A and B are shown apart, each in its own frame.
Chain A
Amino acid sequence: MHDARRTRPVLIVLLIAAIALITLDFRDAGTSPAHVVGADVFGPVERTASAVASPFESLFHTVAGNDSGEIASLQKQNDQLRAQLSQAQLSSQEQAQLSQLLHLTSASNYKIVAATVIAAGGAYSDTVTIDAGTRAGITTNETVLNGDGLVGTVTAATASTATVQLADDAAATVGVRVDGTNEIGALSGTGSTLGAAQQLKLTLFNATAVLQPGQTIVTFGSVGGRPYVPGVPIGQVTQVTSEPGSLTQTALVQPFVDFTGLGVLGVVVSK
Chain B
Amino acid sequence: MFRRIAQALSIPAALIVAVTLQLAIVNRAPLPGGAVPDLVLIAVTAIAVCTGPMTGMLTGFFSGLALDIAPPAAHLAGEYALVFCLVGYACGRVRSAITYATGERTMWTSLTIMGLGVAAGEAGKAALGMMVSDPNVTAPAIKHVLPAAIIYDLVLCPFAYWLTSVALRRPAPERAPRPEFAQVATAFRVASAGSLGAVPNLRLAGSTPAAAAPPARQEPKLRLGSARSSPSSRTYAASSTAQPTLSGGRAVKVNFDRQKVGPAHPRQLASPGKGWLRAQPAAGSPALKHRPPPKGWLRAGRPAGTVPLRRRSPGSGWLRVKRPGGTPALTGNSPRRGWLRPAKPLPTPRRKTPGRGWLRPAKPPKLSWYAKSPGRRWVRHSHSPWRSRRQRLLALVGVRR
Contact = CB atoms under 8 A, between A and B. Distances in A.
Interface stretch (A27-35, A141-149, A215-223): A27-35
Interface in B211-238: none
Contacts of B16: 45
Interface in B9-40: 16, 19-25, 27-30, 32-36, 38
A207 interface: no
B68 A21 contact: yes
A225 B14 CA distance: 43
Contacts of B85: 11, 14-15, 18
B24 A49 contact: yes
A38 B73 contact: yes
A42 B77 contact: no
A1 B22 CA distance: 34
B97 interface: yes
B398 interface: yes
B154 interface: no
6 contacts: A10-B57, A22-B132, A123-B149, A126-B74, A128-B72, A192-B141
B301 interface: no
Interface residues of B, number: 65
Interface string B268-298: 0000000000000000000000000000000
Interface in B149-163: 149
A19 B81 CA distance: 9
A191 interface: yes
A208 B54 CA distance: 63
Given A126-B136, A171-B135, A119 B24 contact: yes
Given A25-B78, A124-B145, A46 B20 contact: yes
Interface of B: 16, 19-25, 27-30, 32-36, 38, 52-54, 57-58, 61, 64-79, 81-82, 85-86, 89, 93, 96-97, 100, 125-126, 129, 132, 134-138, 140-141, 144-145, 149, 175, 398
B70 A21 contact: no
A127 B76 contact: no
Nearest to B85: A14
A169 B126 CA distance: 16
B23 A18 contact: no
A193 B132 CA distance: 18
Given A57-B25, A119-B23, A170-B138, A14 B71 contact: no
B27 A25 contact: no
A29 to B, nearest CB: 9
Interface of A: 1, 3-4, 6-7, 10-11, 14-15, 17-22, 24-26, 30, 32, 34-35, 37-39, 41-43, 45-46, 49-50, 53, 56-57, 60-61, 63-64, 117-129, 156, 158, 161, 163, 165, 169-171, 191-196, 260-262
Contact of B23 (A42, A64, A170): A42
B73 A195 contact: no
B364 to A, nearest CB: 43
A11 B48 CA distance: 14
B73 A25 contact: no
Given A18-B81, A21-B81, A46-B20, 13 more contacts: A11-B57, A14-B57, A15-B85, A17-B78, A39-B70, A42-B20, A63-B30, A124-B125, A161-B71, A163-B72, A170-B135, A191-B138, A261-B30
A60 B71 contact: no
Nearest to A197: B34
A19 B73 CA distance: 17
B74 A127 contact: yes
A21 B28 contact: no
Given A3-B54, A25-B77, A45 B20 contact: yes
Nearest to A198: B34
Nearest to A29: B76
A124 B63 CA distance: 18
Nearest to A61: B30
A56 B20 CA distance: 14
Contacts of B136: 124-126, 169-171, 191-192
B79 A46 contact: no
Given A18-B82, A22-B79, A193 B25 contact: no
A188 to B, nearest CB: 10
The 7 closest A-B pairs by CB, nearest first: A38-B69, A21-B78, A125-B74, A18-B82, A120-B27, A22-B78, A192-B141
B82 A19 contact: yes
Contact of B71 (A57, A163, A260): A163
Contacts of A53: 24-25
Contacts of B25: 49, 53, 56-57
B138 A193 contact: yes
Most buried by A among B71, B75, B81, B141: B71
